[in-house]
Chain A
Amino acid sequence: MSSTEAPSPRSPDRDPLALAGQSLWRWLNSLPVAVWVMILLAFLSMLGTMIPQEHLAQPPGGLSLEEMYVQRFGASRAALIRGLGLSRIYFTWYFNFLLIWLCVSAVICNIVRYRRTAALWRAPGPLRKAPFFQASKRAVIAQGAGETEYSRLRELLAGKGYRIREAGEDGARCLYADKGFLSRWALVVLHVAVLVLLFGGMYGKAVGVEGNVMLADGEKKDLELDIVTNKHRYVQPLLKLLPPLVFELDQKAYRIDYLKQIQLGSEILKMPEDLHDYYRYIVHDYVSDLTVKRGSRVKQGEVKVNHPLVIDKLNLYQSGYHQTGYLSLSIAAGEAVEAELLADTPSVITSRGVAVQDGPGGAWLLPVPGTQFGKVTALPQGTPVSDLLYEFEQVKAGDYYDGGVKAGYIGPLTIAHMYEPQSGQYMGSRLITPDKPLALTVNGQPALASMSRRVDNYSIFSYKRDPGIPVLYFGWILMIAGVALTLYIPFSQLYLRYEQQGGKLYILGAGLAFRRGAPLTLTLREILAAATVVPAREDGGGR
């Protein structure tokens, strides 16, 4: 098309769609834009560590999430924070948009980089004319150099393991040499790794499933994985086609092991000596003897922290434990009552059990025997209650190890911290075991509370079926290898152009090997000692 000819309405440089596409490509391939996206992502991530995030928040005192934000920031600011999504910033559309932008940018960058690297690998193109050298402030020209110098340079590079390509034109000899090309490929691999990571994460999110399940000691339970709920609406119809994933869990045994500490911390040593027996023992491990069955596949093993059980891509992690202890209450002349303890909660001891308050000023509530922790019912009017408030530590009971050897069984034991109900004044702490009862008064009458030998153990498992994990780890390994190879393998390039006419030898080198003072540069200078070396820019050729 001649310059006078008007472009057709559908030509690429007039088509708004094509223009928009070109602009988008340029933006996605722009490093400054990518850097700004990185900075924005870092800034938003930082905000998320200054504003409590819903997925990590633990509202105090039975407050709801909304109440917690209002209490901390005031009604209007809380509304703004939640309205802008700042309370769940990592799951907002704009955060994900920036992440996706960065990833798409990596894809495009990768395409461009791959083309450039492959071209340089296949056909380095040694033919470079004088203006190529004159455009660089780092190129030099050795005047008076001859065929000998050119050949010696070539031999030097070949001897150092450089990959050499040569070509000639119009009485000039051109050479291109490079070394450490692996680092160029590593750079491509590094950017591919970002995509592999992204794919692994998205794949896992799209089809993976995770959750928690709790089993009492000796309990059997069916675990049906819900792989459809909480998935993207486009993925859900596909997931519904998959057969249900049901696993039969059978916890044959569950134990919580304790460790006898050699030395107690300075804070504990300040406490009364009889309390040391409680703090001396710390949870060492919690171990489930678990059998999991799916169809004909059966897997049995010990599951403990850092040692998950894997069956059919389902990972079962020992993520927590719970021990429920019981107090044996002897109040007045009546029969002893076995009362469930709720730890770390202000409680009163009543003739019907240990009651906790339903929020500040609320009704006193009792745990319901035979249910799992947490279910309580109102305390009948007129029930006698203890004169003091009690806060119990978590019950400890189980085998304990001393110096790596099983040394015995501890507990059940707990500590009761006592407070005056009206003023909240601390009245002391007492260790309670089956043999060391706590003396107390209930409505002025003496009573005794000792630990019952009964303890219920509950094993808490996290489970996850994430087929994206292997992909993700592969991506990470690629990335680490890519980063290390890119940064640690030095890449050096050298362009030479020898013009017989006038005896000019143009040289342009890049990379550590061609830095000032580098051994190769020094040898190169020795070879060119007889020539006059000047910057190529001052050759008079201009740019």
Chain B
Amino acid sequence: MIACAYLPYLAPVLLMGNSPLVVVKHFKRMGKVIALSPDAEQVGAARGMSVTRARAVCPKGRFVGSNEPSFEAGSEKLLDTLWTFTNRVEIDADAYPHHAICYLDLGSLRDADACLMAEEMARALRAAFGVGASVGLGHGKLTAYLAAQRAMRDEVLLVEREDEAAFISPFPIDTLPLHKADARRLHLLGIQTLGDLAALPRTAVTASFGKRGTLLHRLASGLDGRPVTPAKMPQTESVRTTFEAIYERDHLDYYLTRLTDGLARTLDKRAVAAHRLVLTIHFERGGGQDETLRLLSPVGTARGLREELAKLLARISFDKPVVGVEICAAHLVAAIPVQLELFAECPVSRGVIDLTHVLAARYGIADCFTASVGQSWSLLTERRYVQRRIEVESDVS
């Protein structure tokens, strides 16, 4: 199941203002319009138009470049909002920032569940951008996109698999990803809708348009097998702070704890954990030292991060006053959900905890584990039992 979230005219939402907005992209020889507000469209400006012509038809328009920071921030905000539903999110780069067309791969979710998720998606987008989005659901990207276009703002439209061909057939042929030459030829042949194209024999379309014709025919027939190409999630998260020169380790620990809590919140929000930690200490009068730790088990909790950072901190010598600290969590992976383990955990014997206390006082708790039942139904032996660190307060930091 694929969902398409559609936010029309995103550029004026991101760049607030009353005058008609025209977003241009400057190429080497000439600039082109890539996005515009509805009022600029009304006066005759259009996407793909040269900047000179756009200035002529819309003299009162506000012209901004495509490198405006708000657009990048908007893209990140869009991804952040949609990544809470799935990590397989693709933003249509050709349409952005004119429209925001985002495809989400929902896997084999059932129709009813997908509808519920899509409603949540529309609500989340309205909360994030302050405007309504429509969400289309289908088994292909084209169907989902057309369903999103057909749906009203804040609405969800699901097209079931057996209805897909019938649903898309009345849409104009221009909704396909066509080259200019192909579009002109199709119009000359009198093929106006997707249904018209689908009615042609596939071999005839292939003979006329080559391999591309086969793809177009498949798309027009509702057989869209194009996968969602997910945008890459940023693979690092970092936090930093600066302060007046400090000379004592305790003071540094205070700042580290604050930073660690903030980093843990960020990781938790993204549902990821770090496989690598980098701690950078900045000393007064320039210079700094960084230490890296590769973790066998990814860590995402504040407590886990604090324990690993304590190891890194132990490697750094404090012979100079410290003025700044930075923690970078890298090689991020999806965090393993922990709620399923609530009922599987059996309490550890008092004797084991007492002995761990004894060992933790000297060595820390990094190496003290207990084994317990994990996914007992799993066919993989290594998943049926898991080793967990024994949680006792360590006197060693």
> A and B: partners?
no
Interface residues of B (CB under 8 A from A): none
Interface residues of A (CB under 8 A from B): none
